[in-house]
Amino acid sequence: MSDTQRLIRRSIWPLTQLGRAAFRFVFPPSCPLCHRDVELHERVDLGRSIAPVLCDLCSADMLPPPSRCCLRCGLLVGPHALIDDGCPHCRSQKFRFRRVIRVGLYDNLLRTACIRAKGTTQSPLAAALANLMWLQEQEELDAERIDVIVPVPRHWTRRLVKPHHAAETISRVLARRLGKPHGRGLLRKIKWTPDQSDLTAAHRKLNLKEAFAVRSRPRLLVGKTVLLVDDILTTGTTANECTRALLHAGVAKVIVAVVAVVPPNSR
Ligand SMILES: [Zn+2]
Ligand SMILES: [Zn+2]
């Protein structure tokens, strides 16, 4: 950026802020889930307000009560459970990713929000869920020293039918918050597959075998730590197959970030 551009930017910045404040006064922001007005002081991160955000009531309803959780799969564990190499839910699973960072369990209001965030016009809700994750899990995300953020991709035919993809919106917001590149398109789904939700665990693995591949731009990925982002983690098969493709392309480490983890009794 040249000195002139910097000067222009500095001089119009207060006007931009004033314009934004006036717009928000006339059209106060609302919660994308319950549509209540959100207070103007709302959520602040590093001195800057972030938007869109869920209202305090929705946010509080979505967050699980403070309890121990397994870093490997994101599920809740008892106070005395040994979780160094996973918990009873995931110890037998061969996960290739290192760990899961999530907002909560796929239950109650968080489940409703995740389902609704998939809707065609619901990208503000998906973005608000990403901001909720950032506000709750910022320390965990920062500690992983992420280099690039990659959404779990869809097959191109699904993009034609529905442009909005919750995982992509969530990953774009997280990339902005982390100040790291958004690697949309680096990982591709190269095989069309039926919906995973109707399949058993064994069929899910078969269904997604060799379904993902990395584009030939490995410089962005080789030796890097990737944050792989999706809206929901069910059995971990999709995240695992994406991780397999990323590691094959030279990625050093994959951390999974999702809004919600589905408990075993809801799968
Ligand atoms: Zn709300
Ligand atoms: Zn576990």
DSSP string, the chain: --HHHHHHHHHHHHHHHHHHHHHHHHS--B-TTT-PBPPTT--EETTEE-SS---HHHHHHHSPPS--B-TTT--B--TT---BTB-TTTTTS---SSEEEEEEES-HHHHHHHHHHTSTT-HHHHHHHHHHHHHHHHHHHHHTT--EEEEPP--HHHHHH----HHHHHHHHHHHHHT--B-TTTEEE-S----GGGS-HHHHHHHHTT-EEE-S-GGGTTT-EEEEEEEEESSSHHHHHHHHHHHHTT-SEEEEEEEEE--GGG-
Q: Which ligand is nearest to the CA of 57?
A: 1
Higher pLDDT, 171 or 37: 171
* pLDDT of 50 strictly over 70: yes
pLDDT per position as a tens digit, 81-110: 888 889 999 999 999 999 999 999 999 999
* Ligand 1 centroid to residue 231 C-alpha, Å: 19
Q: Which ligand is nearest to the CA of 72?
A: 2
pLDDT computed for residue 123 by the predictor:
92
* Ligand 1 centroid to residue 126 C-alpha, Å: 13
Q: Which ligand is nearest to the CA of 81?
A: 2
Q: Average the pLDDT over each of 18-32, 163-177, 215-229 and give the range with the smallest value.
A: 18-32
pLDDT computed for residue 263 by the predictor:
92
Domain boundary assignment for the chain = 68-266
* Ligand 2 centroid to residue 124 C-alpha, Å: 31
Percentage of the chain modeled with pLDDT above 90: 58
* Ligand 2 centroid to residue 257 C-alpha, Å: 15
* pLDDT of 116 strictly over 90: yes
* Ligand 1 centroid to residue 30 C-alpha, Å: 8
Chain mean pLDDT for the chain? 86
Domain 68-266 adopts which CATH fold?
A: Rossmann fold (3.40.50)
* pLDDT of 12 strictly over 70: no
Please give the model's pTM, rounded to 2 decimal places. Answer: 0.86
